[in-house]
């Protein structure tokens, strides 16, 4: 794995479980072009791995204050319309890669998740947060709107009315409020955050990786389909899994009352 990253860390926590850390604590892990480019490269590397090497990805921020406190304001201050479009499209494209990965991506939000940081968390499959975490889309305070998918994903996460309130006011909500709104899956003390995430990851690792990846694919595709079309798509994916060895292993293990040994094929 590449070791020359300047603004991120990509480390294997246990076999098959990778942790991507935004590593600019002096800037509260603010996103700039270098971070986005390095994230894109790291996600490409993860995406090219087989299930034998990659089963889950955890994204977090360095330090105890911030997950990602937003975009780097110093960098975006001098953008013109054309460069701003490129910047927004780049961020959207990279965050969309989280959706395209065949493995689960969990955000471990350890502090401020504002602006681009909130959008990054929203791009993950689900979110666990430390008790001190704060969430918000404060872009209107800068004369802007969220540009990395925030106006799209927030509404889908918490409903349009709550998303409008958060986006129009630019206010922050606590981890507890985010949990109540359905933005966050679980809130724990900061010292317990990574261990709690890992417990969930371990539960996922015990399941068939192709099935987990297919479930992610089906859920994500259903966003853009009506119910009937989405159900037809689900049935197709369900049927395709019967060509995998894991289905034979999983059903056979159940019948034989033993633990399944999934191979990811």
- Looking at the annotation, which residues are catalytic? 119, 139
Query: Distance between CA atoms of 100 and 149, rounded to whole angstroms?
Result: 15
Query: Distance between CA atoms of 180 and 157, rounded to whole angstroms?
Result: 12
Q: Decide if 105 contacts 111 (C-beta within 8 A).
A: no
User: In this structure, what token pair is assigned to residue 92?
Assistant: 């959207």
User: In this structure, what token pair is assigned to residue 215?
Assistant: 């479930």
112-114 and 126-130: which strand pairing? unpaired
Closest CA to 100 of 145, 141, 40: 40
Residue 121 backbone phi and psi in degrees, to 5 = -60, -40
Query: Distance between CA atoms of 15 and 201, rounded to whole angstroms?
Result: 12
Q: Decide if 42 contacts 8 (C-beta within 8 A).
A: yes
Q: Decide if 123 contacts 54 (C-beta within 8 A).
A: no
- H-type alpha helices, 48-80: 73-76
């Amino acid at each position: 794995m590449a070791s020359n990253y300047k603004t991120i860390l990509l480390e294997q926590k246990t076999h098959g479980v990778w942790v991507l850390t935004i590593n600019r604590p002096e800037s509260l892990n603010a996103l700039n072009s270098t971070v986005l480019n390095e994230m894109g490269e790291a996600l490409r590397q993860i995406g090219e791995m087989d299930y034998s090497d990659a089963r889950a990805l955890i994204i977090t921020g360095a330090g105890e204050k911030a997950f990602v406190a937003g975009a780097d304001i110093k960098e975006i201050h001098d953008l013109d319309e054309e460069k701003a479009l490129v910047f927004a499209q780049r961020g959207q494209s990279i965050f969309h890669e989280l959706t395209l990965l065949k493995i689960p991506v969990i955000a471990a939000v350890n502090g401020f998740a504002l602006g681009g940081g909130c959008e990054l968390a929203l791009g993950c499959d689900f979110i666990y947060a430390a008790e001190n975490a704060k969430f918000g889309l404060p872009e209107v305070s800068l004369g802007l709107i969220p540009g990395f998918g925030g106006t799209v994903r927030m509404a889908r996460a918490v409903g349009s009315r709550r998303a409008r309130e958060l986006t129009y006011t630019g206010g922050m909500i606590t981890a507890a409020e985010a949990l109540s709104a359905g933005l966050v899956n679980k809130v724990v003390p900061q010292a317990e955050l990574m261990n709690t995430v890992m417990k969930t990851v371990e539960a996922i690792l015990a399941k068939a990786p192709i099935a987990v990846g297919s479930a992610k694919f089906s859920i994500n595709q259903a966003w853009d389909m009506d119910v009937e079309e989405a159900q037809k798509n689900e049935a197709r994916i369900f049927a395709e899994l019967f060509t995998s060895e894991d289905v034979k292993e999983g059903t056979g293990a159940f019948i034989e009352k033993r633990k399944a040994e999934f191979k990811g094929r």
